[in-house]
Amino acid sequence: MADEPAERPVSHDPLPDPFAGQPDWAPVPPRPIVLVPAASRVDLRGRRVLVGLPGLGWRADLRADERVVQGSRTYVPVLAEHEWYRAEAEQIEVFAPLVPADRVWVETLGETSPWEGGGSPIPRPARSDVISRLVSLDAPTHRSPVPVVEADAVAGRRVVQVADAVERRDLRAVTEVYTSADGDICVRVTAELDWYRWAWSGRPPTTLEVPVHLLWIE
């Protein structure tokens, strides 16, 4: 009689902690951006969107208004983001091209941080790791939040400030990292409205000095 196969041992070791090695003072990453088709049941007014075609490419830094139905097709009015901010701030009318809804994707916030549930995040590849950066052209993609301390450059980028588990979004970095008068490594940020107003009015924005470990590139 043949020997019965040995039972496969079952490991009871705990799952690895995704935050192992993270300093106590470091905040949990912000929620990731999740892209959904504009055809889904989400409000569109003022939302960040991407437009494009599978296999071709995608354009970002856009804002949407509510859907418009013409004949049998649904369209989304789409504005360049700086035009949207100017229209809202100065209460002026601006021209918004109508884009077929099936060519529009909406930025939404995931329910968890990139390392908590909901599957694995898109990894942050090493600079030389091109293979892990490959994406499908069937739909737009968005990388997981990246700590500013790991970024090559930050000035002009969308950033999220995380403090006491509260996320502050719609911010732009206006400097690279630098050493403050107190010896902290910081970045200056401004509200995105002030960032765009700086361009159309020439008025310098009000900025806030934020320790670099509290900032993530969105």
Q: At what angle do helices 192-201 and 81-90 cross, to 10 degrees?
A: 90
- Closest C-alpha among 94, 85, 77 to residue 196: 85
Q: What is the pLDDT of residue 164?
A: 86
- Across residues 95-124, what is the average pLDDT? 73
- Judge whether residue 115 has pLDDT over 70: no
Work out the percent of the chain whose per-residue pLDDT is above 70.
80
Please name the amino acid found at residue 11: S
For the ranges 23-37, 77-91, 121-135, 172-186, which has the lowest average pLDDT? 121-135
Q: Give the β-pairing of 104-109 and 48-53.
A: antiparallel
- Judge whether residue 144 has pLDDT over 80: yes
For the ranges 37-46, 64-73, 83-92, 201-210, which has the lowest average pLDDT? 37-46
Q: What is the pLDDT of residue 40?
A: 85
**Whole-angstrom distance, CA of residue 184 vs CA of residue 25:** 14
**Whole-angstrom distance, CA of residue 17 vs CA of residue 80:** 41
Q: Domain residue spans in the chain?
A: 27-113, 145-218
- How does pLDDT run across 61-95, given as a tens digit for each residue? 999 999 999 999 999 999 999 999 999 999 999 99
Beta strands, E only, the chain: 33-37, 48-53, 57-64, 68-70, 73-80, 98-100, 104-109, 146-147, 158-163, 166-173, 178-179, 185-191, 208-211, 215-217
Q: What is the pLDDT of residue 111?
A: 76
